[in-house]
Amino acid sequence: MLPNVAFDAADLAAKDRAHLIHPWVDLGLTKDADPLIVSAAEGAYVYNVHGQKMLDGIGGMWCVNAGYGRGEIADAMAEQARRMAYFSPFGMIGNPPAIEFAARLTQYTPGDLKHVFFTTGGSTAVDSALRFVHFFNNFHGRKQKKHIITREYAYHGSTYLTASVSGKPADRGNMDLETGFIHHIAPPNPYRRPEGMSIEAFCDAKVKDLEDKILELGPDKVAAFIAEPLLASGGVIVPPPGYQRRTWEICRKYDVLYISDEVVTGFGRLGHIFASKEVFDIEPDIITSAKGLTSGYIPLGAMIVSDRLYSTLTDKAGRGQVFANGYTYSAHPVSCAAGMANLDIFEREDICGHVRKTGPYFHQRLTELADIDMVGDVRGSHFMVCVECTSDKKNKTVPPAEWNVGKRIFEKCQEKGLLARPMGHLVVMSPPLIINRAQIDTSVDILRQGIIEVMDDLKREGLW
Ligand code: PMP
């Protein structure tokens, strides 16, 4: 059936430039851009409209966890769309896939996280979590307990509120964001720790940052700390060992809610459906999920709330506890049917087990790239790894933006049949979780060649 090449590539590219607004793009470059147009995919491979077959090292956008071409998920969606494509979820109206999927998800959540609010993606899941926290404190008469602590280099989404709790410096410049009740502390990035500081001392310092910020604002004014277990889009930052648990304990100590944003780390990427408890030994108050929840086959997100919080709102009707938050497409039956089929695949094929077995190999193979002059750091865990490039390894210097290191590596790798995600001077690898060892070896070989060729080009151009 593949590859699907029945496209007029030039016509599509022209229409793209003329009419399609892409997310996260330098708009000034769009007029002359040559877009990568992908049109078919199977397993761990994606095909562009010219029929070129490429290994997907990006996993779509760290989301196609079960891999491409899963007829089972497509069939589940088609069947649900035929039976009942949609009905309003507002009030006490339910649909079987949403109800069943919510119940099934809670078999995997830690502690008493038993209540699921389905959203349209990760941003709306995080947005809902933040709004829930405010609603919860208002309801309990703690109207002053509103401040949210987050971290620089966090990424939590692209609504006004979630962009505001995000912290990638490059994204904050041209947008107006909420600053009144949102506070960023420094990221726990061991690669950037002060010269000579031990990893343990660095962990102490980063945990103290959170405690200091809570004390500075006043614990009675701080509502929540939001954290990705590993900071994903901010550059796969892996906090020092114990950081997650210790920050969670600080939150408990000061009655600050802990929101664990598992949009990327969930659904197998670190070897578990949710990583909070199994990997980091924390029981958050709220978990947010999306992406791998449907393996990217259709948009869906979830905010999952602990019974400890939720039950305080449900004991008696009519006290003004309407949670005025929700979407036309909350609990969409077709999305939830896809989620169920996706979970069936995870369970039947033990995808998490495969990740636990093969993920360390993927990470270790990529770590070998650290012998390249231009590679400053390789970090991550399982199928979530980032290669940080540098123009001066010893001083960990970030290469000048004009060198376009990430983009150049992306292009070299694409020519050779690998899609790797460029982020400034970083290259992120987050393949579908079904990738096998041979495909891992091919990916790493291509990435090595790509980085070396870019380095050679920079030297030839007299830039380096
Ligand atoms: N949280 C995290 C940790 C993410 O990485 C992302 C997206 N990359 C989001 C939230 C937002 O998800 P979405 O793009 O589905 O809205």
Q: Is 361 part of a structural domain of the chain?
A: yes
Q: How many CB atoms lie within 10 A of CB 194?
A: 8
**Residue of 24, 123, 230, 384 with the most ligand 1 atoms within 8 Å of its CB, for mutation:** 123
Indicate whether 227 and 306 sit together in one domain.
Answer: yes
Indicate whether 195 and 184 sit together in one domain.
Answer: yes
Q: Measured in angstroms, how far is the CA atom of residue 296 from the centroid of ligand 1?
A: 12
**Paired strand residues for 234:** none
Domain count, the chain: 2
Indicate whether 445 and 337 sit together in one domain.
Answer: no
Q: Is 3 part of a structural domain of the chain?
A: no
Indicate whether 235 and 121 sit together in one domain.
Answer: yes
Q: Is the shortest distance between the CB of 261 and ligand 1 below 6 Å? A: yes
- Of 349, 374, 390, the residue at which a domain comes to its end is 349
**Residue of 65, 120, 155 with the most ligand 1 atoms within 8 Å of its CB, for mutation:** 155
Indicate whether 80 and 55 sit together in one domain.
Answer: no
- Whole-prediction pTM: 0.97
- The set of residues, in sequence order, having a beta carbon less than 8 Å from that of 288 and lying 6+ positions away, is 122, 125, 126, 128, 129, 259, 260, 261, 262, 263, 301, 302, 303, 304
* Residue numbers of the domain that contains 175: 72-349
CATH number of the structural domain spanning residue 209 = 3.40.640.10
- Which candidate, 461, 457, 433, 450, places its Cα nearest to that of 60? 433
Q: Measured in angstroms, how far is the CA atom of residue 384 from the centroid of ligand 1?
A: 14
- Please list the pLDDT of the chain residue by residue as tens digits (464 residues): 555 568 999 999 999 999 999 999 999 999 999 999 999 999 999 999 999 999 999 999 999 999 999 999 999 999 999 999 999 999 999 999 999 999 999 999 999 999 999 999 999 999 999 999 999 999 999 999 999 999 999 999 999 999 999 999 888 888 899 999 999 999 999 999 999 999 999 999 999 999 999 999 999 999 999 999 999 999 999 999 999 999 999 999 999 999 999 999 999 999 999 999 999 999 999 999 999 999 999 999 999 999 999 999 998 888 888 999 999 999 999 999 999 999 999 999 999 999 999 999 999 999 999 999 999 999 999 999 999 999 999 999 999 999 999 999 999 999 999 999 999 999 999 999 999 999 999 999 999 999 999 999 999 999 98
CATH number of the structural domain spanning residue 394 = 3.90.1150.10
Q: Measured in angstroms, how far is the CA atom of residue 191 from the centroid of ligand 1?
A: 24
CA-to-CA distance for 338 and 97, rounded, in angstroms? Answer: 9
Q: Is 161 part of a structural domain of the chain?
A: yes
Indicate whether 60 and 140 sit together in one domain.
Answer: no
Instruction: Please identify, by atom number, the ligand 1 atom nearest to the C-alpha of residue 61.
Output: 8
Q: Is the shortest distance between the CB of 126 and ligand 1 below 6 Å? A: yes
Whose CA is closest to atom 1 on ligand 1?
Answer: 156
Q: Is 21 part of a structural domain of the chain?
A: yes
Indicate whether 156 and 239 sit together in one domain.
Answer: yes
Q: Is 4 part of a structural domain of the chain?
A: no
Instruction: Please identify, by atom number, the ligand 1 atom nearest to the C-alpha of residue 301.
Output: 15
Q: Is 1 part of a structural domain of the chain?
A: no
- Which candidate, 346, 385, 365, 406, places its Cα nearest to that of 265? 385
Burial 92-128 (b: 16+ CB within 10 A, else e): eeebebbeebbebbeebbbebbbbbbbbbbbbbbbbb
- Of 349, 376, 410, the residue at which a domain comes to its end is 349
Indicate whether 94 and 237 sit together in one domain.
Answer: yes
